[in-house]
Copies of this chain bind each other. A is one copy, B any other.
Amino acid sequence: MSKLGIKDIAARSGVSPATVSRTLRNPELVNKDTRKKVMKAVRESGYTPNRFGSSLRTQQSGNIVVMMPDITNQVNAGIIRAIEVEAQKTGYSVLLGDTQGQEARERHYAQMVSSGQADGILLYTHRLPFDLDNLTANLPPLVNGNESIEVEGLNKVMVDNVQGAKDGVNHLVALGHRRIAAVLGDNNAPSNRERLQGFQQALQQAGIEPDEQYLVQGDYTTESGMKAMEALLKLRKRPTAVFCFNDDMAIGAMSVLREYGYAIPGDISIMGFDDIRYASLMNPPLTTIHQPLEEIGQASMRLLLAQLSGKNSAPQHIQLPLQLVVRQSTGPAPESD
């Protein structure tokens, strides 16, 4: 049998193609008996409307594209899974845009909207994938998530990184730590700057003098966490606590401490950020800041859906709370020195 078309269903049920189309898309416009006849033919034949035809006509693809720097990252994976659930509920499909931090890839995926392959973009990278020219005027339907881009008029779903970092520091301070180091994430990431800001504010509020040597640059990878920890161990006055700006770096740092025979938290407390799935399974379980991945994905998708359905309200900015999760990788500051 050749591919079934709307005309075949029309013939089978003795109505016009127009009526078949209406039955499928706007059943309330069709007489109940007619509807039944058509639905019967559809069911019996196993007809599925061809997407190309309807897309060409309606100029809607029913797809959205999710742009993320790395899908194998647990945070991103958790978010995209929530997006997919929400998308499916409303009949949308999700195109995967793993950008690997490459601008060419970002542009490639952004193109999908102009070519009609996607109706909107969920953007979790830290820059817009368009030429900046007269862009702000006619942005495609887009929601910026996690990494806040400094452009007017963007819909955003963010997380309170400043407060999250403060909560982390306050926890360490309450445990008696004064020599608190930070392992920073990717320098280009707004999330990193926000976490640093919260970190510094909390230290100041605790009356702790900022100390440059306790700020080590990382890039959110486990490897960078390992390197940073090694650098910190070489310091004459070692920190008693290390706040890594994500869990991957914290896990890297912990593996270095284990290798050198330091006790966690006996000698050094370690704190992460994200609460990835493996954080609670570390040895010791990692104290960290929990990210509401499901809520981020869900809120992003809903905001995009609102735009796609033409609600042209002012850009929204949703900010979700983070939560400190205390486990065993942090403890009282050692009394020694």
Report chain B residues within 8 Å CB of A105: 88
Report chain B residues within 8 Å CB of A61: 51-52
Report chain B residues within 8 Å CB of A116: 50-52
Q: Are A95 and B254 in contact (CB under 8 A)?
A: no
Report chain B residues within 8 Å CB of A282: 282-283
Counting every copy of the chain, the complex holds: 2
Q: Are A95 and B63 in contact (CB under 8 A)?
A: yes
Report Cα–Cα, A182/B61, bound state, in Å.
48
* A217 at interface by CB-CB < 8 Å: no
How many Å from the CB of A52 to the closest CB on chain B? 4
Closest to A57 in B: B52
Report Cα–Cα, A327/B60, bound state, in Å.
52
Report Cα–Cα, A94/B66, bound state, in Å.
11
- Please report A residues at the B interface, Cβ cutoff 8 Å: 48-53, 55-56, 59, 61-63, 66, 70-72, 74, 77-78, 80-81, 84-85, 88, 93-96, 98, 105, 108, 111-112, 114-117, 222, 251-252, 254-255, 258, 277-278, 280-285
Query: Which 8 A-B pairs have CB atoms at the shortest separation, nearest pair first?
Result: A283-B283, A52-B56, A72-B77, A52-B55, A94-B96, A48-B115, A48-B114, A51-B116
